């Protein structure tokens, strides 16, 4: 059994119109949402063996802050191939990962992440908003065996879930 976490980058900034899409960082809401979502991940004691991230700046910042909060000390693999990638290519990238890794984070962009989620899950999945985190249990022993409909949702969270109500436990780890 393998676990794949599909993570869309935090909300990006459009403040500087001279930056390319690839160079955009995060806005204030993106930073705030990252604190909330990483606190939830810390609370759930999520550990991961490998982080693959788009090399677009907003994805890198997202991956870096998540890694820091969950005490991930290994290398984050920033890949230009995860920027504007077709879902088939994303699936190929996942298939190439070493089987020593039981769990992988993929930090990237829409619509590709929503499409890969729909490919892996038996039920139609909704669009992933910014900083949505989808944890999928995969009924496989080797990454090369990943196929359509081999996954089941473990959990799915996104920032607006915490807009009106934030559990005490999440608030308690928010500032750590």
d(CA 73, CA 111): 29
CATH code for the part of the protein at 2-174: 3.40.50.1240
What is the pLDDT at residue 45? 86
The residue length of the chain stands at 176
d(CA 138, CA 150): 6
What are 111-148's pLDDT values in tens digits? Answer: 999 999 999 997 666 789 999 999 999 999 999 999 99
d(CA 147, CA 31): 34
With 0-12 / 13-18 / 19 or more C-beta atoms within 10 angstroms meaning exposed / middle / buried, residue 45 is exposed
Given a contact cutoff of 8 angstroms between Cβ atoms, the answer to whether 26 and 12 are in contact is yes
* Confidence band for 39, pLDDT divided at 50, 70 and 90: confident
Per-residue pLDDT at 43 exceeds 80: yes
Segment 16-31 mean pLDDT: 77
Per-residue pLDDT at 159 exceeds 70: yes
């Amino acid at each position: 059994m393998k676990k794949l976490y599909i993570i869309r980058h935090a909300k990006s900034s459009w403040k500087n119109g001279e930056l390319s899409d690839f160079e955009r960082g995060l806005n204030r809401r993106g930073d705030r949402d990252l604190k909330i979502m990483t606190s939830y991940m810390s609370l759930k004691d999520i550990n991961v063996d490998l982080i693959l991230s788009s090399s677009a700046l907003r994805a890198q910042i997202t991956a870096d802050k998540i890694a820091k909060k969950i005490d991930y000390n290994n290398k984050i693999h920033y890949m230009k191939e995860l920027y504007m990638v077709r879902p088939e290519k994303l699936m190929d990238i996942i298939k190439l990962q070493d089987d020593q890794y039981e769990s992988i984070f993929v930090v990237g962009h829409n619509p590709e992440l929503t499409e890969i989620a729909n490919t892996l899950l038996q039920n139609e999945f909704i669009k992933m908003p910014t900083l949505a985190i989808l944890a999928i249990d995969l009924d496989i022993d080797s990454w090369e065996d990943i196929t359509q409909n081999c996954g089941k949702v473990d959990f799915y969270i996104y920032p607006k879930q915490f807009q009106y109500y934030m559990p005490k436990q999440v608030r308690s780890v928010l500032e750590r």
